[in-house]
């Protein structure tokens, strides 16, 4: 059975950094890109970036590329998304999704002073 | 970036009746290898998205056969042959041909009349 487990909700102040984890089991971690998708409250889905766990290559959405780092640790089958310089409009649920087929449960990040 | 436009944005349907959602892309999604990377997702309230259809018309494992996808080029359709109560939620199309970024439609909310 495939499982994709994300870390818990975070509350951060503006300007802070958050790092979310996403651990997979039940499929070969290096076989699939790991995407990260943002969903602001009451809004649709927005792709923010990906990592290829096989070689660590990353791609990011243009509007966020200066503040985001996505990594993959093949020793623990875990992907990470770090977002720096948090702003109130970063408040959202962030999902990791293996090849868009295997989704985590989402992590709520709240940015508020 | 490729813009994905869905219609309608809201779709009230009676149980047992068919439903159809349209998705148009701002440029052709046909890739040079012959594939067309158009996916459909379903998101129930409070849940993670779930992929239903990949590459226009291929159902993911466990997806009921009342769901079907069709289309080519810039015009795509998701059809539900007979809507059931569990089908409520928001449906998103997403293109993966011209990346980055992967881009989603605005979402279509399906509800029971």
Cα dihedral across residues B88, B90, B91, B96: positive or negative: negative
Could you report the per-residue pLDDT of A39-70, keeping only the tens digit for each? 999 999 999 999 999 999 999 999 999 999 99
CB B79 within 8 A of CB B66: no
pLDDT under 70 in chain B at which residues? Answer: none
**CA distances, A90 to each of A38, A46, A49 (Å):** 9, 12, 14
Cα gap B22→B63, rounded to integer Å: 19
**Contact between A44 and B41 using a beta-carbon 8 Å cutoff:** no
- Which chain B residue has its CA at the smallest distance from A6's CA? B48
**CA neighbor of B94 nearest in space, from A100, A60, A50, A4:** A100
Cα gap B112→B83, rounded to integer Å: 9
Q: Could you list the beta-strand ranges (E) of A52-103.
A: 58-60, 68-73, 78-83, 92-98, 102-103
Could you report the per-residue pLDDT of A81-99, keeping only the tens digit for each? 999 999 999 999 999 999 9
- What is the pLDDT averaged over residues A12-16? 98
Q: How confident is the model at residue A6 (pLDDT cuts 50, 70, 90)?
A: very high
Percent pLDDT > 70 in chain A is: 100
**Contact between A45 and B92 using a beta-carbon 8 Å cutoff:** yes
pLDDT at B1: 97
pLDDT at A105: 98
Q: How confident is the model at residue A113 (pLDDT cuts 50, 70, 90)?
A: very high
pLDDT at B23: 98
Could you report the per-residue pLDDT of A16-41, keeping only the tens digit for each? 999 999 999 999 999 999 999 999 99
pLDDT at B8: 98
Cα gap A7→A21, rounded to integer Å: 5
- Select from B48, B51, B94 the Cβ nearest to the Cβ of A105: B48
Mean pLDDT value across chain B: 98
């Amino acid at each position: 059975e495939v499982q994709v487990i994300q870390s818990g909700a975070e509350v951060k102040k503006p300007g802070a950094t958050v790092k979310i984890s996403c651990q997979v089991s039940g499929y070969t971690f290096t076989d699939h890109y790991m995407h990260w998708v943002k969903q602001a409250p009451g809004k649709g889905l927005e792709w923010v970036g990906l990592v290829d766990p096989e070689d660590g290559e990353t791609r990011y959405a243009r509007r966020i590329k200066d503040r985001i780092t996505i990594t993959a640790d093949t020793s623990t089958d875990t992907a990470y998304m770090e977002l720096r310089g948090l702003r109130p409009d970063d408040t959202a649920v962030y999902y990791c999704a293996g090849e868009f087929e295997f989704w985590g449960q989402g992590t709520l990040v709240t940015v508020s002073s | 970036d490729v813009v994905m436009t869905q219609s309608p944005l809201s779709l009230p349907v009676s149980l047992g009746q068919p439903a159809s959602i349209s998705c148009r892309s701002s440029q052709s999604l046909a890739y040079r290898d012959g594939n067309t990377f158009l996916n459909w997702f379903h998101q129930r309230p409070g849940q993670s998205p779930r992929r239903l259809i990949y590459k226009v018309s291929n159902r993911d494992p466990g997806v009921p056969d009342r769901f079907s996808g069709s289309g080519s080029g810039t015009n795509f359709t998701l059809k539900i042959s007979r809507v059931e109560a569990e089908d409520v939620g928001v449906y998103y199309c997403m293109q993966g041909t011209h990346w980055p970024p992967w881009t989603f439609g605005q979402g279509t909310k399906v509800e029971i009349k």
